[in-house]
Amino acid sequence: MTKTMKGISGKIDVNMNESLAAWQRLQFGMFIHWGLYSAFGGERNGKPVKIGYSEQIQMWDQIPETEYVEVAKQFTADQFDPKAICQLAKDTGMHYIVITSKHHDGFAMFDTDTTDYNIVKQTPYGQDPLKRLAEECHKQDLKFGVYFSLVDWHQGHAFDDNNNNHIPVSMEQVIEQQLRELMTNYGPIAEVWFDMSSPTLEQSIKFSSMVHELQPEAAVNSRIWNNKGDFRTLADNQVPFNTLDAPWQTPASIYHETWGYRKWQERHDFSGKVRDLIAGLTSVRARGGNYLLNIGPRGDGAVVSFEQDVLLTIGEWINRHPQAILGASATKFGGQAWGEVTVNETDLFLHVINRPKDGVITLPGLATDIIQVVEDGSSNPLEWSLEDNNLIVKCPDQPIDDIQTVIKVELAEELRMIPEKTVEADENGVWSIALTDIYMGYGFADRGNYNTLQETTIRHTAFIVTEKAGCVWLEVQGEVQKKETTYQIELGNETKVVTGKQLVEDDIGLFSVNANEIVPLNITLAEPNYPEEPLGLVLEGMNLKYS
């Protein structure tokens, strides 16, 4: 492959839908789990409850509601400080806040006319904390969002270890009214974070439609289920192995054992905790996701000092690398054995999470000339070479950042790359594309609840090298589940739509290709019912040939 070969763009762009793109640009946010469960602090009668998340202590320790609601009498929330919370979020580098409006216990942490089982009516605090926090977010230029559980033990759901309760028709009216209150009384809403239950398709459509009607700019997460969300919420603390095509978010917790406050939680290895969370943030951002990091305030509303210090230290690290994470874009390099890659304009950032023993890292496939390579935050040049499109860098012997080394590669122009599995034509002008040459685009889909969440393949991509301009035919080997399904084939700048039958039985073309380029070949569904719908194609290989 010659040096003059033009590579593909290495940057992963945000969604074409502007509302979703605006949500993706938020990148990093604060999750807050706070409710009556916070007053228990993971204990009952002074004894630790060591099963399950502490915000679900009512279920895990089988606490009758009459006993559970007793703590409301002492729920003064006198340390709840929206101004300080917003400032903490900003100091951490976060752009939005999502708070629990109602968890599975059904105790509303906002002023609602649907039930007296709420913080205004049942506690000495007697105020609406969501109203106060929303107003402060708007003052401090932070976006505001709400968590809303579709499981509600107070309204009649039985305890279910998997929280997969169906929603009876009798409960729909309460949910609709509470959603209408949340979507009309708290100003602009950036995100609505539904959680758990097993709604019907019709219920998922109804609840998500209500949000979009009342808050057109709000992004609804996928835990509305039945694939009716705007973005996919992954499993707790999950970093996907593969880069995902559709918008997504990782909900992350400082302690993986709980989200709500737990008095007896072990809080140690501060530096290790900071390092792990920064690695999680880096990996999620480098692969194109949003990172929503949780705090669990105490029952009085105070932020746990350990959590506050962790967040502030993360913020200090981000400030030392102001272009490397926030405002940076994901790249098509994907995860590397040594770490992650982001790009910001013409600056490429190499995040060294797992430093090799010899201190040398390699980034394969870089097709852009380099001006210089330095440790981010320093002007001292590092040793580097670019050999056959492989960037080789010697990490600094004594990094200036002891949390996570970031190397800045200043590029001469926009990032371009050569995919590792690029296919060249044989002597007869035929590209034989094996299954091992094909990149997959992934998503996640569900069948109505958390336990049905599965990874899906939504795109097949191959890259070919062209030496001469001309027209080519495409032949696809494989099987389709439904022959009437329509598929979209993109080769270079041209697109064709065919049925599944045509895809696997006919030669498809003609497509025009330019000389001396790496040309992407993509197969996707032409009209998916939802963005992460599986292709329904078992691909065996493809051939391209000049006409």
Decide if pLDDT at 266 tops 50.
yes
Looking at the fold, whether 461 and 369 belong to one and the same domain comes out as no
What's the pLDDT band for 46 if we cut at 50, 70, 90? very high
Q: Token digits for 9?
A: 């763009």
The per-residue pLDDT for 241 is 87
pLDDT at site 2 = 47
Residues 165 and 190 in one domain: yes
In a domain, 69, yes or no: yes
Judgement on whether residues 395 and 533 belong to the same structural domain of the protein: no
Question: Is 129 in the same domain as 209?
Answer: yes
Contact 321/344 with Cβ under 8 angstroms?
A: no
CATH number at residue 510: 2.60.120.260
Q: Does residue 189 form part of some domain? A: yes
**CA separation for the pair 341, 325 (Å, rounded):** 10
Residue 292: phi and psi, rounded to 5, are -115, 105
| The pLDDT of residue 24 is above 60 | yes
Shared domain check, 265 and 132: yes
159/250 same-domain check: yes
Top pLDDT among 243 and 298 is at: 298
Q: What is the DSSP pairing of strand 28-32 with strand 96-102? A: parallel
In this structure, of 107-116, 236-245, 388-397, 473-482, the range with the lowest mean pLDDT score is: 236-245
Mean pLDDT of the chain: 96
Its sign, for the CA torsion 471, 475, 476, 482, is positive
* Spatial contact of 458 and 532, defined as CB atoms under 8 Å apart: yes
pLDDT in tens, 419-466: 999 999 998 889 999 999 999 999 999 999 999 999 999 999 999 998
Cα–Cα distance list, 46 to 39, 43, 49 (Å): 12, 6, 9
Is 255 a domain residue? Answer: yes
pLDDT digits (tens, 9 = 90+) for 69-118: 999 999 999 999 999 999 999 999 999 999 999 999 999 999 999 999 99
Q: How many domains does the chain have?
A: 3
The answer on 495 and 460 residing in a single domain is yes
46 shares its domain with 185: yes
Average pLDDT over residues 115-135: 98
451 plus 394 within the same structural domain:
no
Mean pLDDT for the stretch of residues 116-137: 98
Same domain, 465 and 529: yes
Residue at a domain's end among 417, 445, 469? 417
Q: What is the mean pLDDT of residues 308-321?
A: 98
For 48, the domain range is 26-81+93-270+288-296
392 plus 516 within the same structural domain: no
- As a whole number, mean pLDDT of residues 357-376 equals 96
Banded model confidence at residue 4, pLDDT cuts 50, 70, 90: low
For residue 1, pLDDT beyond 80: no
- Domain-located, residue 451: yes
Contact (CB, 8 A) for 275 and 339: no
CB 16, CB 52: distance < 8 Å: no
Query: 66: which residues sit within 8 A by CB, 6+ positions away?
Result: none
| Res. 3: pLDDT tops 80 | no
Residue 323 included in any domain: no
Domain identity same for 377 and 441: no
What CATH number is given to the structural domain containing 189? 3.20.20.80
CA–CA separation, 458 and 351 (whole Å): 28
Write down the H helix ranges in 12-99.
18-24, 36-40, 57-60, 65-68, 82-92
